[in-house]
Amino acid sequence: MDSSAIAFTLNSLAHSILADKPLFSSTLPLAIVGIRSRGELLAQRLAASLSKILPGNPTLDIGALDITMYRDDLASRHSITIPRGTDMNFRLDDRPLLLVDDVLDTGRSVRAALDALVDFGRPSIIRLVVLIDRTRREFPVAADYIGLTVNAPDPSQKVIVHLIPTDSEDAVYLQ
C-alpha cells in the first residue's frame, strides 16, 4: 500500500464504522484508542476522517494505549522495551470504543490491549479496527473492521507499516 491507498482505506473504514449503530447510540461520546505506536497514528487519522462525515460535529475522544507491561512475551524479548506510557485523559465507563491497531497477526497485542483497557473503565462496546489483518492467530481474536487482508503463508514474512511522522513515508510492505 502506498500513501493514497492508506488514506483511501481509512476513509472507507470511517464510512463503514459510521453504519455501526451501537457505536453511536450512547449519550456518551465515542472514544478512539490506538495501540502504540502506529495504532495511535491510525486512530488520529481515523478520528479526523470520522469527524468529517459524522453529522453534528460530535466530540470524539482520542487516546493512545501503551501495552508494553501487559504483553505476555515481555520476558522473552531480546532487547529491553521501554514503555512510552498511555495517553488517555478520559474514562471508558459505559462508552463505545474503537480500538485501533496497524496489524492484527497473532492476536497477542489485542489481548494485551484488552487487559490494559480495563484499567481505564468498562466500555459499553468495543470494536477492533485494523489496517492490515495477517490472518495468522494464536488467540481467538477477530477484527470488526479490516482495511486489507494479507494471506502470507510464510510465517517468516512480516507486514511492515510505515506512517508519517514516525517514518519517512506512509506505506505498507510485506517482507
Domain boundaries, the chain: 3-174
Distances (CA, A) of 131 to 25, 81, 163, 171: 25, 24, 12, 11
Report the predicted TM-score, pTM, of the whole model to 2 decimal places: 0.92
The length of the chain, given as a count of residues: 175
Q: Is 60 exceeded by the pLDDT of residue 55?
A: yes
Query: Which amino acid is present at 4?
Result: S
In the block, residue with C-alpha cell 483497557? 117
Kindly indicate the confidence band of residue 78, based on its pLDDT and cuts at 50, 70 and 90.
Answer: low
C-alpha cell at 15: 464510512
CATH number of 3-174: 3.40.50.2020
Main-chain phi, psi angles of 98, to 5 degrees: -105, 120
Over residues 14-46, the pLDDT tens digits come to 999 999 999 988 888 899 999 998 999 999 999
Q: Is the peptide bond before 37 cis (omega within 30 degrees of 0)?
A: yes
